[in-house]
A and B are shown apart, each in its own frame.
Chain A
Amino acid sequence: MSTSYVIRFVMIMTAGVALTLALLSTSWKDQTKLNESIFNKRAILGAVSDYLSEDPKEMSDDKVVEIFGSKVQQIALDMSGNELEEADIKAAGYKGGQPEHIDMAKEKKKPEADRIFPLYVFNSDKGKSYILTVRGNGLWDEIWGNIALKEDLNTIAGAAFDHKGETPGLGAEIKDNPTFPSRFKGKKIFTEDGTYVSVDVKKTGGTAGNPYAVDGISGATVTADGVDEMLERGIKYYLPYLNKQAGAQKSKG
């Protein structure tokens, strides 16, 4: 077979393959983007599962979209606690312009001072809660989570974690074992005198009466330390805004 035949064959094959895949990808793009946004919304609602009538994991796609649309207010913040406009979000590289489009993985690569992040205010019948998004490093790859704070902006209402490649049965328990995130319920991030302490994930020592610590996972020290660090740093980003809100609340009441 001559060289020109080989070249022709390869070129036709490449063109055919590229055309097929491009066609499929484009015609399914909209639905795929919708699927992705529903997946993310479901994860965010996972932090406030106590406030919902159904477990977000069991909810239908339409219900997730409906609840998110009607009960969740989306805000984008920068490191100084300023609320950002749609234009700012677009300027940061997110064409959709909505806080939900902010990609925490992308933000993590930027220098800390330049990061922006979303805040979700969930208005349920059982009260308002503030859902923060945090991202950090586990043992093998990145981990992330959503933490919901109660109206006092101090007590944790719920948490939900996910990971990219932690070990099943060990680090992966932060997501797979429902008892891990539930340990955070009722814990506090500020001490009585207003010092920010976040919630520690402890390896040893009891945490029963301690409102500022939860038990870790046996055999998953590095992942648990990763969660500890992720919470401490990630929640700290929101403090300028949260302190502003707390101040406003105090002056109102």
Chain B
Amino acid sequence: MAESTLTTTEKVVKVEKEPLFGKTEKKLLLDPLGDTNPITIQVLGICSALAVTSLVYPSVVMAIAVVFVTGFSSLFTSLVRNKIPKQVRMIVQLVIIATLVTIVELTLKRYNYPIYKQLSVYIGLIITNCIVMGRLEAYSMANRPWRAFVDGIGNGVGYGVILIMVAVIREVFGKGTLFAGSPIQMNIIGASNDEMAYLINTAAESGFGSLFAGYTNNNLMVLPAAAMFIIGVFIWIQRSYRPTLVDVS
């Protein structure tokens, strides 16, 4: 009896391993810079955008903190997304966010105490920043870890870019300096005499010269209301360029 040897030719089906940084990832990273910007289009995270942006240096620190928190909370949430009991879904998300924010606080306290003192309340408020929770609910709970991470980073960067742009306008016109309070402080416009606040570099030292020496600081720029106006203008400009976005949100 001939044993029928069943030979199964295994056709090795090569599952195309998805590239680490393919089209989806690129979209996740770049869209929040424009079409799905957390602040100007999704209109989230406005509170900290108003409060922190009076100076550029704290805004940069804040932006980095939010990128870190949004990225890693998205990553961790996605990793456990199938294991979270639905009864405590939001609580678990909050715990993840709060833990990461606490890590940021501890790190700042350890490595840059003066900035920690300056930003103390605002860092804690990242927990309440709608962008973080928003991305967890909208993307991380339904997508794989790497993509969730990229999405978190993308949204954090989108937020950070707007934050820094607003801060540059507010600081230059409100105080005449850039990066005041940091090691790379520069004096941009305004008279360099003792009566002007925040001036530490003289015109000669700053290398920019004192442009428009007669400029008097615009005190409205120092108040959070100015950030609101500036963001409003950004929203206006963005939607003028892309009319398709006009009725979004």
In the assembled complex, which residues on chain B have CB atoms less than 8 Å from the CB atom of A39? 113-114, 117
Within 8 A of A (CB), among B57-93: 83-88, 91-92
Task: Evaluate contact between B83 and A9: CB separation under 8 angstroms.
Answer: yes
In the assembled complex, which residues on chain B have CB atoms less than 8 Å from the CB atom of A9? 83-85, 88, 92
5 sampled A-B residue pairs with Cβ under 8 A? A13-B92, A21-B103, A31-B110, A32-B110, A169-B223
Closest 9 CB pairs between A and B? A169-B222, A35-B113, A6-B85, A177-B197, A28-B110, A1-B85, A32-B109, A17-B99, A168-B222
In the assembled complex, which residues on chain A have CB atoms less than 8 Å from the CB atom of B240? none
A191 within 8 A of B: no
Task: Evaluate contact between A173 and B54: CB separation under 8 angstroms.
Answer: no
Chain B CB within 10 Å — which of A36, A38, A167, A178 has the most?
Answer: A178
Cα distance, A20 to B76, chains bound together (Å):
14
Cα distance, A6 to B88, chains bound together (Å):
8
How many A-B residue pairs lie within 8 Å, measured between CB atoms?
Answer: 64
Cα distance, A5 to B87, chains bound together (Å):
11
In the assembled complex, which residues on chain A have CB atoms less than 8 Å from the CB atom of B114? 39
B216 within 8 A of A: no
* Nearest CB on B from A6, distance (A): 4
Cα distance, A20 to B114, chains bound together (Å):
25
Cα distance, A17 to B85, chains bound together (Å):
17
In the assembled complex, which residues on chain B have CB atoms less than 8 Å from the CB atom of A173? 197
Cα distance, A143 to B197, chains bound together (Å):
20
Cα distance, A171 to B228, chains bound together (Å):
21
Partner of A21, one of B85, B102, B197, B198: B102
* Nearest CB on A from B228, distance (A): 15
In the assembled complex, which residues on chain B have CB atoms less than 8 Å from the CB atom of A31? 110
Partner of A36, one of B86, B113, B223: B113
Task: Evaluate contact between B106 and A169: CB separation under 8 angstroms.
Answer: no
Cα distance, A178 to B200, chains bound together (Å):
10
Task: Evaluate contact between A179 and B194: CB separation under 8 angstroms.
Answer: yes
A25 within 8 A of B: yes
Within 8 A of A (CB), among B148-207: 174, 194-195, 197-198
Contact with B along A19-37 (1 / 0, CB 8 A): 0110011001001100110
A10 within 8 A of B: yes
Contact with B along A31-53 (1 / 0, CB 8 A): 11001101100000000000000
Task: Evaluate contact between B113 and A179: CB separation under 8 angstroms.
Answer: no
List residues of chain A with CB under 8 Å of any chain B CB: 1, 5-6, 9-10, 13-14, 17, 20-21, 24-25, 28, 31-32, 35-36, 38-39, 167-169, 173, 176-179
B233 within 8 A of A: no
* Nearest CB on B from A103, distance (A): 15
Q: Which residue of B lies closest to A8 (CB)?
A: B85
Cα distance, A177 to B95, chains bound together (Å):
40
Cα distance, A32 to B198, chains bound together (Å):
28
Known contacts A9-B83, A24-B103: A176-B198 contact under CB 8 Å: yes
Chain B CB within 10 Å — which of A6, A13, A173 has the most?
Answer: A13
Task: Evaluate contact between B197 and A178: CB separation under 8 angstroms.
Answer: yes
Task: Evaluate contact between B197 and A179: CB separation under 8 angstroms.
Answer: yes
Known contacts A6-B85, A10-B88: A24-B113 contact under CB 8 Å: no
* Nearest CB on B from A45, distance (A): 14
* Nearest CB on B from A185, distance (A): 13
* Nearest CB on B from A32, distance (A): 5
B42 within 8 A of A: no
B219 within 8 A of A: yes
* Nearest CB on A from B123, distance (A): 15
Cα distance, A5 to B92, chains bound together (Å):
14
In the assembled complex, which residues on chain A have CB atoms less than 8 Å from the CB atom of B84? 9
In the assembled complex, which residues on chain A have CB atoms less than 8 Å from the CB atom of B110? 28, 31-32, 35
Cα distance, A176 to B200, chains bound together (Å):
12
Q: Which residue of B lies closest to A6 (CB)?
A: B85
Cα distance, A241 to B109, chains bound together (Å):
36
In the assembled complex, which residues on chain A have CB atoms less than 8 Å from the CB atom of B109? 28, 32, 35
In the assembled complex, which residues on chain B have CB atoms less than 8 Å from the CB atom of A167? 223
Task: Evaluate contact between B113 and A20: CB separation under 8 angstroms.
Answer: no
In the assembled complex, which residues on chain A have CB atoms less than 8 Å from the CB atom of B103? 20-21, 24
